[in-house]
Chains A and B, each alone.
Chain A
Amino acid sequence: GENVEQHPSTLSVQEGDSAVIKCTYSDSASNYFPWYKQELGKGPQLIIDIRSNVGEKKDQRIAVTLNKTAKHFSLHITETQPEDSAVYFCAASIRHSSGGSYIPTFGRGTSLIVHP
């Protein structure tokens, strides 16, 4: 199966509502979990990250939670605005080859649409 699974693939909310995106990962040794926002025609932009020694991190309207035991982490966006509309990717640092480095492996993305 995939190393990082992300759900849902699309999420449609009304302006002001909250949005939650969930990811699971397979490598119990993963210790770094970034979230990226990608707008059309642009590269992914880091919006928040969390390390394995922390269970939750918040930055204004964005928060991320991590459950290492269950190997899942989530992105929470409160008071959504139309400009939050974009594709969001989770990632988990995973060793790609035996003896190799831990490299962020990305989920398939969630297309978030915020209706005004």
Chain B
Amino acid sequence: GAGVSQTPSNKVTEKGKYVELRCDPISGHTALYWYRQSLGQGPEFLIYFQGTGAADDSGLPNDRFFAVRPEGSVSTLKIQRTERGDSAVYLCASSLETGECYTFGSGTRLTVV
């Protein structure tokens, strides 16, 4: 596609529920990144995929967060037992070159009530 697509654009969920956030990167981009952005802050790194494998997941805050990219294209970020502190905009980016020239999606705004 023309850009990075993220769905849904907005998600409201109840505390304790499970959510999945989807990212469809630019076709041909092998590197895919998830970031989390809280209000008034810069994007915070969560996890990076090179192809199908998670090359660096050191940014995931705890074991409630998990991400997959089974076919090296679309990625899903999964959050179990959501907490109010998980509320943020979750951004996905993809690139041809590892660590450079990211293109970001518009993000998914997650609100945990």
Contact = CB atoms under 8 A, between A and B. Distances in A.
B42 interface: yes
A42 B102 contact: no
B interface, by DSSP: helix, strand, loop or mixed?
loop
Contacts of B42: 4, 6, 89, 91, 106-109
Interface string B36-49: 00001111110010
Interface residues of A, number: 27
A3 to B, nearest CB: 10
A interface, by DSSP: helix, strand, loop or mixed?
strand
Contacts of A100: 55-56, 58
Interface of B: 4, 33, 35, 40-45, 48, 50, 55-56, 58-59, 91, 93, 98-107
The 8 closest A-B pairs by CB, nearest first: A106-B42, A43-B104, A97-B58, A100-B56, A96-B58, A43-B106, A101-B56, A44-B104
